[in-house]
Each structure stands twice: as C-alpha cells, then as structure tokens.
Amino acid sequence: MLINAINLVAGYGGEPVLRGVNFAIDSGDIGVIVGPNGAGKTTALKSIFGLIRLSKGSVQLEGEDITNVPPDRRVRLGIGYVTQERNVFPSLTVRENLEMGAFIRKDKFSPVIDNMFELFPPLAQKADDVAGQLSGGQRQMVAIARALMVSPRLLLLDEPTVGLSPAFVSEIVDRILTIARSGVGVLIVEQNAKRALEIADIGFVLASGKNLFTDSGKNLLNDPEVAKSFLGG
C-alpha cells in the first residue's frame, strides 16, 4: 500500500469529526472520498496530511509510520496537498508559484517546471502572469502543478473541480488521470460523487465520520444502496 490510514479519529475540539475511518490506496490508483456535507471528507484529507492532530489511529506511507510527522516534513516525504480554497499565491507569478512548490528541492527543477507546462499547456502562456488574475480553472491547474513540483508519491486533492466550468472540469479530470498513470497515487475529495466515482479505482463513501462503503468506483456506482443513499437515485 502507498498510503494506509487506519482508524482515524480526529476533530477540532469537542465531538470528533472522524470517528474511526480507514483509507488505503496503491501507487497509480485514484481513490475518491465522497459523502454528504459534514461527513468529514476534508477533515480526512487534512488528517492524512497532518494538518490536524489525530486523537486515535495511524497513518503509514509505504509501510512507514508518519502519524507524528509535521506537514512540512510530509511534503519532503512525497505527499502533495491541494486545498480547496486559496490554493495559489495570488501576488506571485505562475512560474513563481511553481518554484514555491519546489522550495524543498535542492536539485535543478526547471525541467520539472517545463514538464508542468507540458501537462498544463494553458499555464505556459501565462507563466509570467500574476496568479491572482487567472481564471478559476487555471488557478486550479497552478495549484495542482505546484503540488506536483516535489514529484510526490501521493497527491491529495480537495474538491479540485468545484465551481469550474464543464470544459475545465473535463480538462482537470483528464490531467488527474494522466498524473495517476505516471504512477502517483491520487486521493480526491469530491462533492460530485457520480462523476468522481466514474474515474475512481477505489471509492470511499463516508457518512458522519465513518466508512459507509468501500469498493471499486464501478461497483459503488452500480450499488443500489449507495445510489439510494446519496447519488440521487
């Protein structure tokens, strides 16, 4: 397993939001976390990245326990994280945003930047524009590219397509598939469960901080119970 999160219990003080959830995905797989509002999807992602202290449970990256490793160290270990909002540096140029993603790299990273421009061609033309002036979809590309700059083993994406126009959605989804094909494990939190499960190698359905169903995306889509509970029929 690339990442193995076992029995996570976490919250923001008071009642825990996560009440013992499990995730596990392999390299090159796309895992999708879906579920109703307040199910703890974003919290789950944050706790895998170490932004929230776990009160119970453990996180392992390729068998190595990283439960107590702070987030900036997890970046060095190869986890990239894209938050849902405010995920670019608005007053930095696109190129500078990518450089910030590579802050921890000691080697020459300009080829990596070129790779990113290949992966997201629209960014190449905007390389020297300030990120704050880009459209929502382009910003999302910058954010994902920034997280990819460390060549992570695992990429965590929090609602990468929220608020984007359909054209951008399919472009982003396309890129995510490309990224996974290159061997990176991708764990996505999605509001739009149906579309997300279509590309999921493995889907995790959460409700009130617990795993409700875990199965391949296709099986979940076809499972009448999943459909009944929240895919809207």
Partner 1 sequence: MNELIFFINKVLISGSIIGSIYALGAIGVTLVFGILRFANFSHADLMTSGAYLSFVFAALLPGLGPVIGLPTGFVVLPLSILFLAAFAVTIDVMFYRPLRKRNVRPVMLLVASLGVTLMLHGVIRLFAGTSPRTFFAEQNKDVFRIDVPFETTTRDLIISEPQVLLIITTIICIVSLHQFLTRTRLGKAMRAMSDNSELALVSGINTDKVVQATWVIAGTLAAIAGTLLALDVVLKPDLSFNLLLPIFAAAIVGGIGRPYGAIAGGLLVGFSETLAVFNWSVLLRPFAEYFPEWVEIPSRLNFVPTEYKIIVPFVILIAVLIWRPTGIFRGQVI
Nearest to partner 1 of 81, 221 (CB atom): 81
Site for partner 1 in 101-130 (CB under 8 A): 101, 103-104
Residue 165 DSSP SS3:
coil
**Segment interacting with partner 1, rule: CB under 8 A, options 26-34, 55-63, 80-88, 205-213:** 80-88
Nearest to partner 1 of 145, 197 (CB atom): 145
Based on the shown chain and the rule CB under 8 A, indicate whether residue 91 belongs to the binding site for partner 1: yes
Query: Residues 6 or more apart from 72 whose CB is under 8 A from it?
Result: none
Site for partner 1 in 173-202 (CB under 8 A): none
For residues 149 to 168, the per-residue mask of contacts with partner 1, x marking binding by CB under 8 A and - elsewhere, is -x------------------
Q: Residue from 7, 56, 65, 100 that binds partner 1 (CB under 8 A)? A: 100
Q: Residue from 75, 116, 145, 157 that binds partner 1 (CB under 8 A)? A: 75
Q: Please give the C-alpha separations between residue 116 and each of 67, 88, 147, 151, 182, in angstroms, as whole numbers.
A: 30, 15, 11, 11, 13
Q: Of 178, 177, 219, 181, which is closest to residue 197 (Cα–Cα)? A: 219
Identify the DSSP state of 151: -
Based on the shown chain and the rule CB under 8 A, indicate whether residue 90 belongs to the binding site for partner 1: yes
Nearest to partner 1 of 110, 165 (CB atom): 110
As measured in angstroms, the least distance from the Cβ of 191 to partner 1 is 21
Based on the shown chain and the rule CB under 8 A, indicate whether residue 83 belongs to the binding site for partner 1: yes
Based on the shown chain and the rule CB under 8 A, indicate whether residue 49 belongs to the binding site for partner 1: yes
Total residues interacting with partner 1, rule: CB under 8 A = 25
Query: In degrees rounded to 5, what are phi and psi of residue 66?
Result: -120, 20
What is the crossing angle of helices 166-181 and 136-148, to 10°?
Answer: 10
Nearest to partner 1 of 87, 161 (CB atom): 87
Largest interatomic CA distance in the chain: 51
Instruction: At 188, list the tokens.
Output: 């996505």
Based on the shown chain and the rule CB under 8 A, indicate whether residue 146 belongs to the binding site for partner 1: yes
Q: Please give the C-alpha separations between residue 224 and each of 31, 205, 221, 231, in angstroms, as whole numbers.
A: 20, 14, 8, 9
- Cross-strand bridge partners of residue 188: 32, 157
Residue 4 DSSP SS3:
strand
Residues forming contacts to partner 1 in the complex (CB under 8 A) are 49, 51, 71-72, 75-76, 81, 83, 86-92, 96-97, 99-101, 103-104, 146-147, 150
